[in-house]
Chain A
Amino acid sequence: MNEKPAGGFGHLLVERSGGIGGMLLVWEVDIDASTRRDELGPRIAELPWSDSGQSDGVVQSDDAPQATGADRFAYLIESRYGRVRFGETQMPPEWKRLVDDVREVAEPQRRQPG
């Protein structure tokens, strides 16, 4: 999928919460405006958004991604293709690579939770 989809690839948002400090950091990238659009856009489009982590964005006791151990980070990744949540240790390699790439191209913003 190398063609730019109608309406573009849109924005990608990575939110990191938790950790012992409970602080919220957000990295956001406008993929279409990014110098790495041709690399990131198709990768994002091809990720299994509906089959990874917890995809409905609602934290429920029985199906929430449980952290392996306490004080680990929790991640939310969101784009026009979907929304997924992972515990820090439960993120598949392709998603971790995406998070690492986004952290390279975007400055983190600290936000208030809730």
Chain B
Amino acid sequence: MVSQSVVPFHSVVPPYLLDAIAERGAERFPKAAAAAASCRMSDESCRNLRLAGLRYTPPADLGRDESALAPPAPAGLQRLVHDAQNTEVLPGELVRSEGEEPVDDEPVNEAYDGLGASYALFSEVFGRDSLDGAGMPLMASVHYGKDYDNAFFDGRLMVFGDGDDEVFTGFTGSLSIIGHELSHGVISHTADLEYLGQPGALNEHCADVFGALTQQHDAGQNAEDADWLIGAGIFTPEVTGRALRSMIEPGTAYDDDVLGKDPQPAHMDDFVTTDSDNGGVHLNSGIPNRALALAAIAVGGPAWESVGQVWYSVLTGAEITQRTDFAEFAELTIAEAADQFGAGSDVHDAIVSGWETVGISHAGSARGNQGSSW
């Protein structure tokens, strides 16, 4: 019986047990399995197991129970939101699981809803089941750190700080940011673009693309009606700025006495060479961001049905590598647009024009170029 053995909660659960629970326990104990998966991401805090009421069976016993060994059924949307309680210990306490009612903590509910909207984009539009395409639980932690001015993806978990209330408010207040972080998870499971230099800027770019599309899809918004902002609303009223970034007008998101001016370039002529920020990954992403936004607006209508399809196919395709650079990525999107929509189609031509506008020059074809003149 699975319930006969009890995890010694006073000590850290060995990783192999968490693996067994997470990978083979989903059918009987979906919450516990998800919590175990959550614990595996960190050496810290396995309190979620206790909160989930977990009882485990050692792997040997699991071997005698056919149902416990059966692969879990497709999971669908499974959200687990944790509260880091203003520490830097992850994941923190599990405070809202899939299907549970809203709690009296707005960042928790914002994260829960944001993960749902992000999941919906990938599931409904691209047919992708979660980060790994196989129903991996979506796990988030809110209230990370003290006055923490950031949100990040740590490899398994989407983490959101509360901000300092001077420059930044809480990072769950922007759906595009939640979508951005979840998209990093998709990227890590697909192209896994190296987080450095141009590939790193493409990593950031793709996270921005699907973050923006999450917001537009959730709002049922056409490309020409969208603001193409990332992080709108997370500045306090004291800051002169609209958002962290503008995809359509890089370099214009803020211009503030304290923050300075948005440093994102919008053209290859202004490409930033720096040792900071892993080679400027959050800066130079402005260049491909503008190319995509221009293309989406030129095509019009829901961007997830046009350029979004092209970008997703490239990101998840076989030809992109961890070190793909801007020019190679541009070529892949143009070739993909020709494949999906036809050479000379509105989508194809808009993408060609978008890349030309930001100064990404044609350096030969990665896929034969399909007869394109670009």
> How many B residues have CB within 8 A of the partner chain?
42
Within 8 A of B (CB), among A15-57: 15, 17-24, 57
Partner of B273, one of A68, A72, A114: A114
Partner of A113, one of B149, B180, B272: B272
> Is B276 a contact partner of A61 (Cβ separation < 8 A)?
no
> Is B149 a contact partner of A21 (Cβ separation < 8 A)?
yes
A57 to B184, CA, bound (A): 27
> Is B278 a contact partner of A64 (Cβ separation < 8 A)?
yes
Among the 9-residue stretches B104-112, B126-134, B257-265, the one with 4 or more Cβ atoms under 8 Å from chain A is B257-265
A4 within 8 A of B: no
Residues on the A chain within 8 Å of B197, using CB: 59, 61
A-B contact count (CB 8 A): 113
Within 8 A of B (CB), among A68-114: 68-74, 76, 85, 89, 110-114
- Tell me what chain A mostly uses at the interface: helix, strand, loop, or mixed: loop
B155 to chain A, nearest CB (A): 5
A94 to B214, CA, bound (A): 41
For the A-B complex with A22-B280, A61-B197, A114-B263 known, give 8 more contacts whose Cβ atoms are closer than 8 Å. Answer: A23-B259, A58-B275, A59-B275, A70-B153, A70-B181, A70-B188, A114-B272, A114-B273
A24: nearest chain-B partner, CB-CB: B276
> Is A72 a contact partner of B152 (Cβ separation < 8 A)?
yes
Within 8 A of A (CB), among B231-262: 231, 244, 258-261
> How many A residues have CB within 8 A of the partner chain?
31
A58 to B197, CA, bound (A): 12
A73: nearest chain-B partner, CB-CB: B150
A24 to B263, CA, bound (A): 10
A73 to B88, CA, bound (A): 14
A45 to B278, CA, bound (A): 27
B279 within 8 A of A: yes
Residues on the A chain within 8 Å of B50, using CB: none
